[in-house]
């Protein structure tokens, strides 16, 4: 299956079921009481991170993700069946963005579940509205609509080590030598057109390597698809920066890639690195030493600088053990940060779903084109569940508006009898 690291899908949670208007009809009972049941809740769309998934390719053929609607309530106070949640497996490392490009969820751990679209609540049946002053209510609520929007999925590979460097720097060859991966290898630029993963044994431990396609000058702005590939570098703990020993100026080659890492939307140049001079087989030792000296002159102090030949297996063992030490240090740092966050009651790396909503009871009245437009989360939700063709339902909505102070607000804005009130997108009524 080909590697796909972005996808666009339509997400729709289930609508809530309508509440029922019903009265008991029993033998020898003249006037049975109301017994209309509530509607069922609509199903949620839930994304589940799974290590069994490694690509977003399935979403090429599944563009719509729809959860089940809740069923309507019925007589004898029967509650409508809740809609089934739609569980959508995605690869670990998948980010979900809304239509504005804002991050909604970041599925970074195997088994992590996030509700991407919440199902609508079911409407109350008329049995719910019985009171001492209202013995036979003929009002029931409509089910709440589910959420529906277009979402963009981005897969960022999660690896211990990200291999970066110019095209043909030897990344794929190194990955094939140290791991079980079999990337395409050839002697021309841009051999690798998709990121590859490989597991490298180091003593009794293992390191997960990601081969990121070659970067060139301008990659951060998209040249050579570089900005797409840099996405995967974001999640790696350590970068292994490979520099071809046959480049005319190894120091300048190193600096070019560093500039691209820094120019990306998230500065990646500060990530821990190991700088590796590649393809040293066939070179005299004094030439190798001189090239290493040139690199060390421009590499930050404390960054390991090593020389290898993947073809001849020179320096590979030393490189792997050095890499493990650097990765272990980063893991320890991350663990310490996670423990510190836990002490504060936080979860490191947890990204909440965006909810751009007003406080429940807040509302606003604006006069537009001779009509009075009322907005606010709570009142819009009531309006969405109101059957505007049912006089009892409209009367209940008016009572709610009065209790919330909205009617008084309309008077302050200069409303007159016969003027139109519009509530969100749900409906309208006369004052």
Structure tokens at 132: 């001492």
pLDDT at 193: 45
Neighbours of 422 (CB within 10 A): 18
Average pLDDT score over the chain: 81
pLDDT digits (tens, 9 = 90+) for 272-331: 999 999 999 989 999 999 999 999 999 999 999 999 999 999 999 999 999 999 999 987
pLDDT value at residue 225: 38
User: How confident is the model at residue 31, as a pLDDT?
Assistant: 62
pLDDT score of 230 more than 70: no
364-368 sheet: strands from edge to edge: 364-368, 371-375, 420-423, 427-430
Inform me whether the pLDDT recorded for 98 exceeds 70: yes
Cβ atoms of 243 and 278 closer than 8 Å:
yes
Please state, in angstroms and as integers, the Cα–Cα distance from residue 172 to each residue in 54, 150, 256, 426, following that order. Answer: 19, 36, 20, 57
Percentage of residues in the chain having pLDDT higher than 70: 82
Spatial neighbors of 10 by CB under 8 A, at least 6 apart, are 63, 64, 65, 148, 149, 150, 151
* SS3 readout for 290-340: HHHHHHHCCCCCCCCEEECECCCCECHHHHHHHHHHHHHHHHHHHHHHHHH
The pTM of this model reads 0.57
Residue with structure tokens 């009871």? 361
Q: Are the beta carbons of 126 and 21 closer than 8 angstroms?
A: yes
Q: Tell me which residue of 239, 170, 203 sits closest to 320, measured CA to CA.
A: 203
55 vs 269 pLDDT, higher one: 269
Question: Is the CB of residue 94 less than 8 Å from the CB of residue 108?
Answer: no
CA distances from 27 to 22, 30, 156 (A): 16, 8, 66
Per-residue model confidence as pLDDT tens digits over 395-417: 888 888 888 889 888 988 888 88
**pLDDT at position 228, please?**
54
Strands of 3-78 (E only): list them.
6-12, 45-50, 64-66
pLDDT band at 217 (very low <50, low <70, confident <90, very high): very low
Distance, in Å, from the CA atom of 158 to the CA atom of 96, rounded to the nearest integer, reads: 16
| Predicted local distance difference test score (pLDDT) of residue 377 | 84
Per-residue pLDDT tens digits for 370-390: 889 998 888 888 888 888 888
The whole-angstrom separation of Cα 185 and Cα 182 is 9
Residue pair 245/293 in contact (Cβ under 8 Å)? The answer is: no
What pLDDT, on a 0 to 100 scale, did the predictor assign at position 53? Answer: 79
pLDDT at 305: 96
């Amino acid at each position: 299956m080909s590697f796909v690291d972005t996808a666009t899908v339509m997400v729709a949670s289930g609508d809530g079921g309508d509440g029922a208007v019903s009265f008991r009809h029993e033998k020898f009972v003249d006037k049975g009481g109301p017994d209309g049941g509530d509607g069922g809740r609509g199903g949620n769309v839930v994304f589940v991170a799974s290590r069994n998934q490694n690509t977003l390719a399935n979403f090429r053929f599944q563009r719509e993700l729809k959860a089940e609607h809740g069923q309507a309530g019925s007589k004898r106070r029967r509650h409508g069946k809740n809609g089934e949640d739609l569980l959508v497996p995605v690869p670990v490392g998948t980010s979900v963005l809304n239509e504005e490009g804002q991050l909604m969820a970041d599925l970074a751990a195997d088994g992590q579940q996030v509700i991407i679209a919440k199902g609508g609540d079911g409407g109350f049946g008329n049995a719910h509205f019985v009171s001492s002053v209202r013995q036979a209510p003929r009002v029931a609520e409509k089910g709440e609509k589910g959420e529906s929007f277009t979402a963009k999925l981005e897969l960022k590979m999660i690896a211990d080590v990200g291999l970066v460097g110019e095209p043909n720097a030897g990344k794929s060859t190194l990955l094939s030598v140290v791991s079980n991966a079999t990337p395409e290898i050839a002697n021309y630029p841009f051999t690798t057109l998709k990121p590859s993963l490989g597991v490298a044994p180091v003593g009794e431990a293992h390191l997960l390597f990601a081969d990121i396609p070659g970067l060139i000058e301008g990659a951060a702005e998209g040249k050579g698809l570089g900005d797409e590939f840099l996405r995967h570098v974001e999640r790696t703990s350590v970068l292994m920066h490979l520099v071809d020993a046959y480049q005319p100026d190894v120091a300048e080659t190193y600096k070019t890639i560093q500039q691209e890492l820094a120019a990306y939307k998230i500065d990646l140049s500060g990530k821990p690195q190991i700088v590796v001079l590649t393809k040293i087989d066939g070179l005299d030792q004094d030439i190798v030493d001189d090239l290493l000296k040139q690199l060390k002159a421009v590499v930050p102090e404390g960054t390991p600088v090593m020389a290898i030949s993947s073809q001849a297996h020179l320096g590979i063992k030393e490189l792997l053990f050095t890499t493990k030490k650097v990765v272990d240090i980063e893991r320890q740092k991350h663990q310490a940060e996670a423990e510190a966050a836990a002490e504060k009651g936080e979860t490191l790396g947890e990204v909440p779903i965006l909810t751009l909503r007003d406080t429940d009871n807040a509302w606003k009245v604006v006069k537009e084109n001779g009509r009075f437009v009322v907005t606010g989360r709570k009142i819009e939700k009531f309006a969405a569940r109101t059957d505007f063709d049912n006089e009892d339902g409209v009367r209940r909505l008016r009572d709610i508006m009065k209790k919330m102070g909205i009617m008084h607000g309309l008077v302050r804005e200069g409303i007159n009898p016969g003027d139109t009130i519009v509530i969100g997108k749900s409906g309208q009524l006369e004052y």
